[in-house]
Structure 1
Amino acid sequence: MNIENIPCTKVAYIRQVGPYGDNNRQSMDKLKTWAISMDLLKEDSVLLGIAYDNPAFVEGNKCRYDTCLIIAEDSVINDTCIQEGRIQGGKYAVFQIAHTAEAVGKAWNTIFSAISSEGCQLDDDRPMMERYNFKLLKEHFCELCVPILSEKT
């Protein structure tokens, strides 16, 4: 676990509403196709997957998931299928994991105890993110970013 200050950042995104899973992957493919057509997908690009709702408390058909591409501040989006927004910045506990469905699922089941054991407090007002940095993806890794309020000093 690393602690990182993630800045407030401009993103292009597609929102998926419904059960998490295959639909999220389809949204990611759609965003990548759009980004390639706009010449925005580069070696240093960063994609994010942001789940806003916990399916244990929110009906599956109402769960929100944004597939995002970090873009330059001066970028203008002229596509009705792609929205423009910002991710909230702040302090995050960042976990690098293998980029497989099994590893991601296992990590989501274990990272909260790791955060707690490090003396960190979750920030429930900001969403958790999956971060896909192309350099890490080439090595078959991704990152889970969990918002925190504080850490041990």
Structure 2
Amino acid sequence: MKIETIPTYRIAYFRRVGPYGAANYETMQRLKEWAAVERLLDDTSIILGISQDNVETTEPQNCRYDAALVISEDFQKDDMALIGELRGGKYVCFTVLHTAEAMRQAWTDIFYELSNQGLELDNRPTFERFTTDMLREHYCEICIPIK
């Protein structure tokens, strides 16, 4: 667990609306295929899986998931991906083995740990962050916004 100030990211993304879970994988694959065709993936790439809604306050069928790639300011919009930004700020980041079991357990344990640490959540999206090195080693970071 580490606390980090993350900058506001400019992102290209694909959105899926529906219950969070295994179907998000398809959205992420679509993003990666698009990014490969656009030649946007390299050793400095940052990929994000953004959960836009809180499952405790949003009906599952209305939950928004964005598979995103951090892009430069000079990237020109195309017809496939949406362009937006992920607001930065203070986040607590957990490095997690990127397996279904480890991720499920992490999502179960994280909010208990935040409560134990006395950290207060902020009303920004949570996200999973992947760098090229992390993907090679089968890890990711779960980033939770805090005040």
User: TM-score scaled to structure 2, two decimals?
Assistant: 0.95
3-state SS of 2:143 partner: strand
The aligned counterpart of 2:74 is 74
Note the residue ranges of structure 1 that are not aligned, 5 or more in a row.
none
Q: Which amino acid aligns with 2:133?
A: K
Alpha-carbon distance, 1:78 to partner? 1.2
How much identity, in percent, do the aligned residues show?
46
Q: Which amino acid aligns with 1:98?
A: L
Pair 1:45-2:45 in alignment: yes
Alpha-carbon distance, 1:112 to partner? 1.3
3-state SS of 2:27 partner: helix
User: Structure 2 CA distance, aligned partners of 1:106 and 1:120?
Assistant: 20
Q: Which amino acid aligns with 1:25?
A: Y
Worse overlay, 47-56 or 11-20:
47-56
Note the residue ranges of structure 2 that are not aligned, 5 or more in a row.
none
The aligned counterpart of 2:117 is 118
CA RMSD of aligned residues (A): 1.2
User: Structure 2 CA distance, aligned partners of 1:63 and 1:41?
Assistant: 27
Deviations 1:52-100 (A, max 9, x none): 2233432222110011000111111212x31000001000000001001
User: Structure 1 CA distance, aligned partners of 2:119 and 2:37?
Assistant: 41
User: Structure 2 CA distance, aligned partners of 1:54 and 1:120?
Assistant: 17
Pair 1:89-2:127 in alignment: no
User: TM-score scaled to structure 1, two decimals?
Assistant: 0.91
User: Structure 2 CA distance, aligned partners of 1:68 and 1:139?
Assistant: 20
User: Structure 1 CA distance, aligned partners of 2:7 and 2:71?
Assistant: 13
3-state SS of 2:23 partner: helix
Alpha-carbon distance, 1:119 to partner? 2.6
Q: Which amino acid aligns with 2:127?
A: M
Alpha-carbon distance, 1:6 to partner? 0.3
